[in-house]
Amino acid sequence: MVRFENVGLRYGMGGEILKDISFEIEPHSFQFLTGPSGAGKTTLLRLILLSLKPTRGLISLFNRDAAQLSKDQITDLRRRVGVVFQDFRLLDHLTTYENVALPLRVRGRDESSYRAEVVELLRWVGLGEHIHALPPVLSGGEKQRAAIARALIVRPELLLADEPTGNVDPTLARRLLRLFAELHKSGTAVVIATHDLALMDQFETARRLVLGDCRLHIYE
């Protein structure tokens, strides 16, 4: 569902921070993306999401060559991807419930068809007490969980999560990993960018994509 062929990326006039990146993400697969701080994990996720254009090479998403797509086509493809950004990107004027329900509203779903589902997911991620809170009063970990719930609510074909357990304690990190594992079992391909070795050890069979020295090394 994702294919990179000899992709290179530089920001502005700087040197390439990613070089000759080639890999595929198969449907229903589970992988961690790791590597030192500044290695380019977020950049790679942005390339997969087609929010950055590679300086060279070919990227395809859901079997469509990214270079051939119009803006509207990219928007349509992105709807099939759930994303947990490192900086959460919650809308401050909407409640936790409204933030999580937003992707369903945008898809034209009727509130009565999803209300119970949104509330259940918010309870599952431990935000049952904060359903009506606005993001500015949530802690970092609570915002992170709201962002995760928003990415999961649409049951995406592909989930990209950037340090999704960076702001929570180890117990909650394990619980969230279980949530990602369940999503994977139900058919979603999952990519989790993380530094957290303990988290990766909980899912030893997952593939590891390791960035270092501008290159990607894959451990099946």
Ligand X SMILES: Nc1ncnc2c1ncn2[C@@H]1O[C@H](COP(=O)(O)OP(=O)(O)OP(=O)(O)O)[C@@H](O)[C@H]1O
Closest contact distance (angstroms) between CB of 141 and ligand X is 17
Q: Of the two residues 133 and 210, which places its CB atom closer to ligand X in the complex?
A: 210
Closest contact distance (angstroms) between CB of 197 and ligand X is 14
Binding letters toward ligand X, positions 3-42, x by CB under 6 A: --------x-----x-----------------x-xxxxxx
Q: Angle formed by the axes of helices 96-106 and 111-124, to 10°? A: 130
Closest contact distance (angstroms) between CB of 51 and ligand X is 11
Closest contact distance (angstroms) between CB of 38 and ligand X is 4
Indicate the SS3 state at residue 56: strand
Q: Of the two residues 43 and 167, which places its CB atom closer to ligand X in the complex?
A: 43
Give Cα 144 distance to the centre of its chain: 12
Q: Which of 169, 172, 148, 168 is nearest to 160 (CA)?
A: 148
Walk across the sheet containing 64-65 and list its strands: 16-25, 2-10, 56-61, 64-65
Contact between 210 and ligand X per CB under 6 A = no
Q: Of the two residues 4 and 114, which places its CB atom closer to ligand X in the complex?
A: 4
Closest contact distance (angstroms) between CB of 95 and ligand X is 29
Q: How far apart are CA 79 and CA 58, in angstroms?
A: 21
Q: Contact, 21 vs 6, CB < 8 A? A: yes
Q: How far apart are CA 51 and CA 192, in angstroms?
A: 18
What residues from 76 to 95 belong to the interface with ligand X (CB under 6 A)?
A: none
DSSP annotation of 9 reads E
Q: Of the two residues 103 and 164, which places its CB atom closer to ligand X in the complex?
A: 164
Indicate the SS3 state at residue 199: helix
Binding-site size for ligand X (CB under 6 A) equals 10
Q: How many residues does the chain have?
A: 220
Of the residues 22, 43, 55, 95, which one makes contact with ligand X according to CB under 6 A:
43
Q: Of the two residues 51 and 75, which places its CB atom closer to ligand X in the complex?
A: 51
Closest contact distance (angstroms) between CB of 117 and ligand X is 32
Q: Of the two residues 12 and 136, which places its CB atom closer to ligand X in the complex?
A: 12
Cβ-based neighbours of 15, under 8 Å, separated by 6 or more: none
Residue ranges binding ligand X (CB under 6 A): 11, 17, 35, 37-43
